[in-house]
Amino acid sequence: MMMMMLIGSWWLMLCVQFFEQFVRPWLAFAVVSAAPFVLIAVCNCLIVVSLLRRRRKTTLRLSCNSQHEQHLVQLTVMCVAASALFLVCSLPSIVLLIGKPYWNVPEGENPAYQVISLHHIFQLHIA
């Protein structure tokens, strides 16, 4: 009976370790990065589509206004930039989290510090 408990706890420990190293990073990617990016991208696409529909309606009623066209282009660029910026800002930490179990690191070196440093530098340039 004691042997079964030891095997059971050992197996549970292996399962938890596997989950923490290989499953949890992908769940974090899905919840923290992928789902919000898709949501932001879809909402921004809906904004651009509604602006284009509105432009068609106003173009039919009035002559095409250059200033109105310029505002439409600026809003479209802003929506695309917001989606891309979110992806660029969240991607380094997710790559680090997912890639860490797969990297073979020589003893005494830790490439995670280099990636984290690059991430912090990039965050400072954006802010």
Domain ranges of the chain: 26-126
The C-alpha atoms of residue 71 and residue 92 are separated, in whole angstroms, by 33
pLDDT of residue 96: 81
pLDDT of the residue at 105: 60
pTM over 0.85: no
Mean of the pLDDT values across residues 68-83?
Answer: 85
Mean pLDDT across 91-119 = 70
pLDDT band at 39 (very low <50, low <70, confident <90, very high): very high
In 3D, which of 87, 88, 95 has the Cα closest to residue 116?
A: 95
Tell me, what's the pLDDT at 20? Answer: 84
Question: Dmax over Cα atoms in the chain, in whole Å?
Answer: 86
* pLDDT greater than 80 at residue 104: no
Compute the average pLDDT of residues 10-24: 81
Position 16 scores a pLDDT of 81
Helical residues (DSSP H) of the chain, grouped into ranges: 2-18, 24-28, 35-61, 66-99, 112-126
